[in-house]
Amino acid sequence: MLGIKFSVIKCKLETGRTHQIRVHMAHIGHPLLGDDLYGGNTSLISRQALHSYRICFIHPITKQNVSFEASIPNDINFYEK
């Protein structure tokens, strides 16, 4: 398709920060697309191809469950429609 091999992964994180995700993915031989610090290919995107589709947490004041969802940005949406 684009001449570059990459995979789209879905993972559920219990905890984690962007740096931890980047380090662990690079360590197992799968750096994030666009992550020049950890060896990711930058020819398709000039930022880390990392996106949180959904985040859920308990609000610290109201104690209610809160959930937010966001569409995949166009620059990392490689699925053909």
Q: Mean per-residue pLDDT for 56-60?
A: 93
The yes-or-no verdict on residue 72 having pLDDT over 90 is no
Mean pLDDT of the chain: 85
Residue 43 domain-assigned? yes
Residue 2 domain-assigned? no
Number of structural domains, the chain? 1
Structural domain span for residue 26: 18-72
The yes-or-no verdict on residue 35 having pLDDT over 50 is yes
The yes-or-no verdict on residue 31 having pLDDT over 70 is yes
Separation between Cα atoms, residue 35 and residue 42, nearest integer Å: 7
Residue 37 domain-assigned? yes
Report if pTM > 0.85.
no
Residue 9 domain-assigned? no
Residue 8 domain-assigned? no
The yes-or-no verdict on residue 63 having pLDDT over 90 is yes
